[in-house]
Structure 1
Amino acid sequence: MLGFSLYLNEDITPATEQYINHLKKYGFNGIFTSVHIPEEDSQKYRARLLSLGNLAKKNNLDVMVDIDQASLEKLNISLSSLDSLKEQGITGLRIDDRLAPEQIADLSQKIEIGINGSTFTEEELKQLVAFDAKMESIQAWFNFYPCPDTGISRQFLAEQTKMFKHYGMNVQAFFAGDENLRGPLHEGLPTLEYQRYYDPLASILELKELGIDLLYLGDPGISERSLNQIKTYQDEDSLVLYTERAENASEEMYNYILGKHNQRPDPAEYVVRCEDSRMHSVPMITPENTILREKGSITLNNHLYQRYTGEIQLVKDTLPMNKRVNVVGRVTDGSLPLVNLIQPSQEFYLYEK
């Protein structure tokens, strides 16, 4: 499931509702918010939270609220009486405190509970089972990491996810946005450090491969370009990769490689071969910019390759220069992870950034 984040440092306005409706059109079905910010006015936060809950209920969206016990008290919310909160559209609580396993087990009978996927241990999971927790109502929610270099590793996320899955739990992780990034650092809010500057779609697909069930946008914004990437994948099972013209490459040759392609059904080890590229009306392609083919390079075979003239390739790993191969473009850093995710015979698009 795809979800997004809305933060309560500002009032819920008609623009907020427009944003919710817009993301819903792109398949986003859950909202994450946080209310444990002690310096803010508690009454404003309570009003904003309930307003957000009602909007979500109106649009049939889930709402997971990140909260601690001190903020619960400030907002006059009791863990012993959650029915009114659920009636207001709040479907889950990620309580960012070290609650006793017995208390978590009890809460799981009443509402969806998010535990901290970044810190929860197997010993604590065994205790939940011992206290008859409703494990299908408990989700493992990883942290996001605003400060560069502090996000967790792929290996750690995979190990934790495997552990949670063993206990029948759904697992959540955050991916960074690429517009209106959350302050004060404005450096993205990913769970995995190496995904900090990825295109959102690249993060989503990699997290899915790692077994993540709930994929949430951590930042309060995402570009229309990235939403269209996601929509194209949802509707067509096609990948959109954004590109730039290579330095010293002609505009004519760069424009030639833009557009729709298919990878061959027999994928190559080091490159993505565009299946139908040699079937186009091939212009005279003279040797040009025959330089080192770095990872992410987009290449075009020149006339020295004879029957292979006109073949377009995406380089998956750095290859040496070849006088028969022109480097005409490169996949942008954010889209680069998508190169290795292109499947045999899969359709993909190369668009200028």
Structure 2
Amino acid sequence: MYLNQPLTATRIAQMEMMKSAGFTGVFTSMHIPEDDPQQYLTRVRALGKACHELNLQLTADVSAAGMQRMGIDINDTAALTKLGLTALRIDDGLEMAAIARLSRQMPIALNASTISPEDVQALTAANADFDHLEAWHNYYPRPETGLDADWVLAKNQWLKAQGFTTMAFVAGDTDLRGPLHAGLPTLEADRKAQPLAATLNLQRHLAVDKVYVGDSVLSPARCDQFKRYFNDHILQLSVYTMTDALVGPVWHNRPDVARDVVRLVEGRQQIHQLAPANTVARKVGAVTIDNDRYGRYVGELQIVKTALPANEAVNVVGQVADADLALLPEIGSGQAVQFIREGEGN
């Protein structure tokens, strides 16, 4: 949530929507214009109040000089708490000894890209509380400047070995922040990525502990995907289909994960007879049901992960929307899956 605009009822409603989807923290920047410190101070107080009422953590990107322009000592944690801040993200301007002292009083995030072994030694020597220290990667508004995934993985593995909690950003899918409106991800590969898929990739494969959406909000449909996954452990997939029975029920991947397809166990339990129809080539994301020609496999319900040729014993009954194809590799053992029709998300 950014402070270049006042906190409106619409913005608070968006915060409530994100909270209901399982988000637990808000990030803002207090790197303020030289001529506007009091307006930012008023706005951060309003944001802090809203976060407190919604039980959301509020982390602000701050500098000692910026806080001084607002008449606040960055070392005065009581004054910071009165603003509603629960954590600070400090990019520069403070010695490691001061950061160590602050870490004994509240969570502190540092710039993940610039933390050095010498910084770790200095923090350790100053008795920093590493349980309160986090390493936050930047977001990158300009296309082509986002980080390389392999570099982030190596950096995060080192940071976690030093005791830091790691954080990265994913881009939103609506109301992208100006002036470029090109998303605010940490990874360049995530600039146009499906937000939930990007989040799961960061957490599962790149040693990221926390994920924030760099842009101010997700669309209601994407927010509902987060809600279903993080609150209910159900992975929602938008599909195009004329088969009504697919849409709505919760299906489950088998415990033994197949290479080429997701095998949803309930299909064969519910379908015992099916005539051949639309036995065409199967694209990635095709939803299929085995027909009578497959004998005892009739009713086998699958989502295709690797393009497969046509099979006269396999009916193609739906297609996962392009945006959600990136979620298919995240369907692990026993994962619950729910199909919703494309365009009908909440």
TM-score, scaled relative to structure 1 = 0.86
- % same residue: 37
Q: Name 2:284's counterpart in structure 1.
A: 295
Distance 1:164 1:325 in 2: 48
SS in 2 for 1:38: coil
Q: Name 2:234's counterpart in structure 1.
A: 238
Distance 1:127 1:294 in 2: 55
Q: Cα deviation per residue 1:146-198 (whole Å; 9 max; x = unaligned)? A: 23332223322222222222222222121222222211222222222223333
Distance 2:314 2:240 in 1: 18
Q: Name 2:77's counterpart in structure 1.
A: 82
Q: CA shift at 1:217, angstroms?
A: 1.7
Distance 2:246 2:20 in 1: 31
Q: Name 1:64's counterpart in structure 2.
A: 59
Q: Is the 8 A contact 2:64 2:73 kept in 1?
A: no
Q: Name 1:197's counterpart in structure 2.
A: 192
- For residues 42-191 of structure 1, the aligned pairs below 5 Å read 42-97=37-92, 99-191=94-186
Q: CA shift at 1:76, angstroms?
A: 2.3
- State the one-letter code of the partner of 1:300: I
Q: Is the 8 A contact 1:262 1:276 kept in 2?
A: yes
SS in 2 for 1:53: helix
- State the one-letter code of the partner of 1:174: F
Q: Name 1:13's counterpart in structure 2.
A: 8
Q: Give the counterpart of 1:38 among 16, 33, 38.
A: 33
Distance 2:55 2:276 in 1: 58
Q: CA shift at 1:303, angstroms?
A: 4.2
Q: Cα deviation per residue 1:49-82 (whole Å; 9 max; x = unaligned)? A: 1221222233332211112344223222222333
Q: Give the counterpart of 1:218 among 214, 220, 226.
A: 214
Q: Name 2:269's counterpart in structure 1.
A: 279
Q: Give the counterpart of 1:330 among 319, 323, 332.
A: 319
Q: CA shift at 1:226, angstroms?
A: 1.9
Cα pair distance change 1:137/1:323, threshold 3 Å? same
Distance 1:40 1:16 in 2: 25
Distance 2:32 2:325 in 1: 36
Cα pair distance change 1:148/1:314, threshold 3 Å? farther
Q: CA shift at 1:136, angstroms?
A: 1.8
Q: Is the 8 A contact 1:289 1:328 kept in 2?
A: no
Distance 2:54 2:232 in 1: 25
Q: CA shift at 1:119, angstroms?
A: 2.8
Gaps of 5+ in 1: 1-5, 246-250
2:15 pairs with 1:26: no
Q: Cα deviation per residue 1:195-241 (whole Å; 9 max; x = unaligned)? A: 33333332332333244332212111112212222222234322111
Gaps of 5+ in 2: none
Q: Is the 8 A contact 1:198 1:335 kept in 2?
A: no
Distance 2:196 2:35 in 1: 34
Cα pair distance change 1:81/1:39, threshold 3 Å? closer
Q: CA shift at 1:32, angstroms?
A: 0.4
- State the one-letter code of the partner of 1:237: H
TM-score, scaled relative to structure 2 = 0.87
Q: CA shift at 1:134, angstroms?
A: 2.1
Distance 1:243 1:266 in 2: 24
Distance 2:175 2:142 in 1: 16
SS in 2 for 1:314: strand
- State the one-letter code of the partner of 1:352: R
SS in 2 for 1:216: strand
- State the one-letter code of the partner of 1:103: A
SS in 2 for 1:20: helix
Q: CA shift at 1:294, angstroms?
A: 3.2
RMSD of aligned alpha carbons: 2.5
Cα pair distance change 1:318/1:123, threshold 3 Å? farther
2:306 pairs with 1:317: yes
